[in-house]
Amino acid sequence: MTVIHPVVMCGGSGTRLWPRSRKSQPKPFLPLVGESTLFEATLDRCADGDRFAPPVIVTGAGHRAHVETQSGAHSGTRVIVEPEAKNTAAAIALAAARLDPDAIMLVLPSDHHIADVPAFRAAAHTAANLAREGWLVAFGITPTEPETGFGYILRGAPLEGGFAVERFVEKPDLATAKGFLADGRYSWNGGIFVYRAGTFLDELARHRPALADAVREAVAKGREDGAAFHPDPAAFARIEGESVDYAVMEETDRAAMVPVAMGWSDIGNWQALRDAREGDAAGNRVRGNVELVDCRNVLAETDGPRISVIGLEDIAIVVDGNEVLVTTMAGAQKVGKLGGATNQ
C-alpha cells in the first residue's frame, strides 16, 4: 500500500467566523466542532503510521506557534514557514519540492471538518493509486445542496476508482447549482488534492514556469531550522500568488477526481458550523452559559457572559471578548464584511 504524505496548509485566518475566529485566534486552531481543533482533527485523520507518513505543514510565521503547540502529538512533523502568503499553488509546490519526487502527497486544508474518517481514508488511497499513475487528483465531494459558494468538478471518462476531470466549474448561481445537483455528474471541489510530488512540479513548470522557478530557487536557497524550513524570502517574493486550481488543475490534461461522500464541511460560516455540530431535540447548539426559551435551530455560544434568548429560529449568537454577533443563518455570509471582522 502506498504511503501517503499529508501536506496540511495553514493559511489565512478567515473572517467569516468572526468574532470567534480572529487574527490572534485563527479558525484552524479553534475547537469549533468537537473538542479537538480543526487543525488537530486534520492531523489525527491521517495519523495512521502504516498508511501515512508524518505530516508536512505549510504555514506562515504568524501561525507557527499555534502549529507547533497543536502538532506536538505527531512525531516527525515538518513545518515549512512561508515568508509571506502566496496562495495555494506556491504552498503546495514548496512541500512538493521538499519531498522525494516519487512521494505521494495528500494536500489538505487545515480548517475543514470531515465526519466520516474511513470514507476519507478510502478516498485518499484510491486517489493515491491514480496519482502514482501520473494523475493530478482532486477529491470530488458528493454535493448535498445546491451550494453557490463552492467550485464544482464535472466528471468525464471513468478511471480506476474515479474519473478523468471533464471541466472545473466556477461558483455557480443558484439555478445552475440546482441543475448540477440534478445532473449527478458534478461534485464540489473541496480543495483536497493527491499528487505525485514530481508530477505536480513538472506540471507546474509546464504551465507556470516562473512560479516553478521561483519556488525551486526559494527551496534551494532556503534555511533549515530544526524541524522547520524557511524558503528564501527574496526568491519567494518574486512569486505571483495563484490558486492551484487556476495554476495547475485547470491547465493540466492529467486532472482526475475521486468521488467521495464523507460528511465534509469547510465550516465556511456560522450556518455551516451550526450544521456540523450536533443539535439537541429542537436543533439548538449551545456552548457556555446559555438559556433558550422557544428557540429552534439556534447556535448560541459565549466565552463568558450569559446569553438569554426568546422565540428565535435559525440564528447564530456569538459572544467573544468585547464583541456580540447576532445573525440570521441567511445573513451569515456577510459576517466577514462587518466592521468588527474587517478592522481586527
Which residues are paired to 316 by β-bridges?
299, 327
Half-sphere exposure of 3 (CA within 13 A, CB side): 13
User: Count of residues binding a copy of itself (CB under 8 A)?
Assistant: 34
Distance in Å, CB of 262 to a copy of itself, minimum = 30
Which range of residues in 26-34, 149-157, 277-285, 286-294 is near a copy of itself by CB under 8 A?
286-294
Q: Which is nearer to a copy of itself, 182 or 293 (CB)?
A: 293
Distance in Å, CB of 32 to a copy of itself, minimum = 19
Task: Return the closest-CA partner of residue 107 out of 196, 176, 202.
Answer: 196
| Residue span 11-30 as binding mask against a copy of itself, x where in contact by CB under 8 A, dash where not | --------x-----------
Task: Return the closest-CA partner of residue 74 out of 94, 96, 99, 57.
Answer: 57
* Residues 238/302, Cβ–Cβ less than 8 Å: no
Alpha carbon distance 90, 159 (integer Å)? 28
Does 108 participate in binding a copy of itself (rule CB under 8 A)?
A: no
Long-range CB contacts for residues 250-255, cutoff 8 Å, separation at least 24: 250/168, 251/203, 251/206, 251/207, 251/208, 252/136, 252/203, 252/206, 252/207, 254/134, 254/135, 254/136, 254/199, 254/203, 255/135, 255/136, 255/137, 255/138, 255/164, 255/165, 255/168
Alpha carbon distance 201, 308 (integer Å)? 54
Q: Which grid coordinates are listed for 302?
A: 459565549
Distance in Å, CB of 341 to a copy of itself, minimum = 8
Does 291 participate in binding a copy of itself (rule CB under 8 A)?
A: yes
Which of 117, 169, 227, 338 binds a copy of itself (CB under 8 A)? It is 338
Distance in Å, CB of 290 to a copy of itself, minimum = 9
Does 115 participate in binding a copy of itself (rule CB under 8 A)?
A: no
Place of cell 471582522: 341
Q: Which grid coordinates are listed for 97?
A: 519540492
* Residues 200/105, Cβ–Cβ less than 8 Å: yes
Distance in Å, CB of 305 to a copy of itself, minimum = 5
Q: Which is nearer to a copy of itself, 258 or 315 (CB)?
A: 315
Does 287 participate in binding a copy of itself (rule CB under 8 A)?
A: no
CA distances from 199 to 87, 91, 103, 123 (A): 20, 16, 10, 20
Does 8 participate in binding a copy of itself (rule CB under 8 A)?
A: no
Which of 294, 299, 301, 303 binds a copy of itself (CB under 8 A)? It is 294
Does 343 participate in binding a copy of itself (rule CB under 8 A)?
A: no
| Residue span 123-142 as binding mask against a copy of itself, x where in contact by CB under 8 A, dash where not | --------------------
Binders of a copy of itself among 299-318, rule CB under 8 A?
A: 302, 304-312, 315, 317
Does 226 participate in binding a copy of itself (rule CB under 8 A)?
A: no
Distance in Å, CB of 68 to a copy of itself, minimum = 32
Which of 31, 236, 330, 344 binds a copy of itself (CB under 8 A)? It is 330
Non-local (6+) Cβ contacts of 306 within 8 A are: 289, 290, 291
Does 283 participate in binding a copy of itself (rule CB under 8 A)?
A: no
Site residues for a copy of itself per CB under 8 A: 19, 291, 293-294, 302, 304-312, 315, 317, 319, 321-328, 330-332, 334-335, 337-340
